[in-house]
Every structure is written in C-alpha cells, then in structure tokens.
Amino acid sequence: MKYPECTKLVSSCLAFTMMMAGIPFTVSAEGDAPILQVKTDSVSMKSLEEERDGRLQVLAERQAEEIRQLEDSQAQQIQKMRADGKSETEIQNQIKKNEDTLQNKKEKHLQAMEAENVLRFSTDVIISNNFMGVTAASFGIKYDSRISYVDVELLNSTAKCFNVINNPEQHILWFTGANASNANSKNTFKDEVMMTLNFILSEEQGGSFPFEFVWEGANGAHAYWYTDNSRDSNVIDGIESSAVGGMFSATGDEVIDPPMVRMNQNTQRQVKVLNTTDAVFWYSDNEKVATVDSETGLVTAVSPGVTNINAVTNLSLLTCEVTVTEGYYYSIADPTELKINNNGDTFILYYPDAEGAVKWSSAKQDIATIDENGTITIKQEGEVTFIGQGSGGTYIRKVIISSASESAFLRGDVDENGKIDIMDVILLNKGLFGKASLTDAQIKAADINGDNIPDAQDCLRIMRYIVKLETW
C-alpha cells in the first residue's frame, strides 16, 4: 500500500474513534497547501526590561571575575619578575603594558555591556500541514522598521533546510530552502518547521509590531514552492493564500492619564488607564468635589476642592489627583474667543507648560486688566485682547465680557460659562435623564425652540450649532 493511502486509512480510523468518543477531530486533505504562520504574542515592557537587567547583571559579574583574574595574573607576573632579578626598567615597562592590557579589557567590557543594554524579543514561525513534502521553497517575511533583526534560530532538523538572508533596507527576511535552485532535489521535508526570529526593540515605550509574508524580497528574489508531487510546478499561489502574518506587542505598565488635572466647576474631563485590556472600575474619594462614571472614567467637577479619582484594574490601583478650582481657568494658547460673564466669578488665564515667569498685558485696560498671575479684573463689559509672553513664545486671546443679566439668557449656554460647547450638550442630557438639576436660568438657556420645555430637539440644535450646521 502506498504512503498516501496509509495516511488516509489511519486518519479515517482515528477520526472514527475520536468521533465515537465525542472528541472533535479535523484532518486536512492531502492536497491542502502548507500553512505558514507567524506567532502573535504580547508581553509587558516590564518583563522585557527585567530580562535585559538580568542579562546585564550576569554579564557584569562575569566581567568583574575576568578583571579580577587578570589583575591577579599580572600581579603574579610582576612578583615573579622581581624574584628573577629583572631590572626596575623592565619591571616598569611590563607594568605599563599590563595597565594598557587591563584598560583595553575594560573598554571591551564596556562595549559588550552597551551591546547588551537593549530590549530583546522573539517571535516564532511555524510551517505546518506539510503532507505533500517540499523539494524547494523560497519566501519572505517583512518585519517592522522600528525593530532590528538579530538572528534566526532553526529549532529542528527540517527548519535547518533553510538559509536566511536579511535585507535591512527593505526590512525583509528571505528564506531559501536547501538545494532550492534544483526543484528535482531529493532533499524533501514533511515535518512541521519551527524557527524563532530574534529582534531588538528600538522603542523604549513599546508598541505593536506586525509581521507579514511577502513574495518578492531580498536581491529581487521571487517566492516559489515545489512539492514532492509537483516538482516542476510552482504552487506558491496556494501557499500565499494560506499564509498568516502575526503581531508582536510590547505593552508598558498600567498608568493613569492624566495623573493630575485641574478643572473648572461644572466641566468634564476624560481620564483613562493606558496599557490595559482589563475592565476598569472608577470611584471618587469625595463626590462633593468631583464625581466619576464608574465604567467610563468621565470626571465631572462639582465644587472647589481636591480629591482623588481612583481606577481599579486586575493588576493596579491607580490615582488621578483632581483639583476643582475656585476660579475659572482658561488657556491663553487657545485660539478661540472666550466669553465670560461679569457676575463676580474669578477668571484666570494660564500659560501652558511655562518655564519661568510669564509677562501678562491687556490691550484695553479700560475693559479689563490682568495681573502677574493671569487673574483678570473686569471693569466693564466689552471686548479685550490679552497677551501672554513666556518661554514658548507669545500668545494672544480675545475675550468677550458680557453683563450677568445678558449672559443668563445666552441661548445654548446651559452651563453658564459664557460659551457654547459640548459641555452644554452633556449637562442638558444629564438634566433630561434626571442625572442633574437645572436652574431656571439654565432651563431658559437650553430652550432653543422657545417652547419653555427643554428636550432632545433642543439638545440636537445645540449640537448643530457647535459643529456650525446652524446659527442663531
């Protein structure tokens, strides 16, 4: 009986036995194309760093022992020269040579330490479903330009049929089977092929790095695949259709973003946990200062004070410090017009990421002035431009000051901060769903349709106004 027929018989018997036992069983047809696959894997940056630190520690201990042995050997050499009655000139010359030798050894050690001070990672390549055997093969794997190729470990005898060429300009590894130039070669392989690709991660922050199979590669080579049964026919099309690329991901430690935030009253800010796939549970230490949605991490500033917003994952308890300010802070770098109300509140401009002192000035001091801390003093209603000069350059921002009575009836300004934005939509939605109580002034500002009943249509019109699809 021929080998393929034996294979079919054994597979059929095994399938029947496993089916009777209730065990799922799948057998690939003899003619199915081999499957080329790059493993998808994910590790933490911390584990890569720990592995690197471990390698450096072992290397440092070995180097220290080498230096100790060299110094002992040199000391014994000098001692013997003195015992042999060598002249002082000869001894000093030898000491100088020994010092140079020792210095050269230390420099090589330093170079070796620098070479090992990298983050290394590996990914596996597996070729399976190889029932038809292969007489010759040639294909490529493209790797991400942000990583550096080190070498390939051929893990079994079948894998050792391949030669590997690295094309760093194209970021392609080109694999060529043994005797690949001769498709009639008798050197065939039918086992699973296993190999490990080793790389250096050049980005300390980690990331995701894809691998994909390519069919034109190093030095203009073209992919091919000849089987035992088709030694004169290139069946690369079938191989290409079954190849599965992979992804290597290196994730950083779980961190909260931002770790500290300052918020104006009645505003919202999204807080996130980075580098996690876990569900996150959120809670506030003091909901009188700020609340947080337990599922989404959306923080709402309630009243002046400081509190912690906490995030709980399977691995961590992370904290964001939230300061809700007494006054209202606005960035001088924001190019949009700022509308504020002359209602007795404190308004402060700040210069983002300032290094050193900031020089503040007002273009119309009869309308409003600004002190060295960015605090605005309103003298009357009107328009004024403020200038902030600091380490990052000069910024200007136009501010429109309205009277308290005028601002109370600014249509769409539900949160009464002098401008119409997404926060007004959010506050109105919370009011409609009973999650917040709106004052009479806020209800009047939300009533865009003028029917004295804020509803979803009013919410939609505010949204349309924000995206400039509607004007009032």
**Cα angle: 278, vertex 281, 285; to 5 degrees:** 145
Percent of the chain with pLDDT over 70: 87
Q: Judge whether residue 465 has pLDDT over 60.
A: yes
- 330 vs 228, more confident: 330
Integer Cα distance of 294 and 311 in angstroms: 9
**Cα angle: 90, vertex 94, 95; to 5 degrees:** 115
Partnered with residue 306 across adjacent β-strands are 323
Least confident window among 3-17, 242-256, 333-347: 3-17
Q: Judge whether residue 468 has pLDDT over 80.
A: no
Q: Among residues 176, 200, 205, which one has the least CA distance to residue 55?
A: 200
Q: What is the pTM of this model?
A: 0.49
- 419 vs 1, more confident: 419
Average pLDDT over residues 98-122: 92
What are the backbone angles phi and psi of residue 79, rounded to the nearest 5°? -60, -40
Mean pLDDT of the chain: 83
- 187 vs 268, more confident: 268
Q: Tokens for 250?
A: 């290196």
Q: Tokens for 29?
A: 């047809």
pLDDT at 32: 59
Partnered with residue 207 across adjacent β-strands are 250
Q: Tokens for 439?
A: 């004052």
Q: What is the pLDDT of residues 403-441, one digit of tens each?
A: 765 544 578 889 887 788 888 888 998 888 888 888 877
Reply yes or no: is the peptide bond before residue 258 cis, omega within 30 of 0: yes
Partnered with residue 384 across adjacent β-strands are 399
Q: Among residues 118, 162, 161, which one has the least CA distance to residue 141?
A: 162
Least confident window among 172-176, 197-201, 203-207, 425-429: 203-207
pLDDT-derived band at 3 (thresholds 50, 70, 90) equals very low
CA-CA-CA-CA torsion for 193, 196, 197, 199, nearest 10 degrees? 170
Q: What is the pLDDT of residues 133-167, one digit of tens each?
A: 777 888 999 999 989 999 999 887 767 778 899 99
| Cα 446 → chain centroid | 41
pLDDT at 6: 37
Q: Among residues 275, 304, 309, 279, which one has the least CA distance to residue 289?
A: 304
The CB density around residue 363, as the number of other CB atoms within 10 Å, is 13
Q: Tokens for 448?
A: 């865009």
pLDDT at 336: 86
Helix (DSSP H) and strand (DSSP E) numbers for the chain? 8, 28
CA-CA-CA-CA torsion for 322, 326, 328, 329, nearest 10 degrees? -50
- Give the SS3 label for residue 140: strand
pLDDT at 185: 41
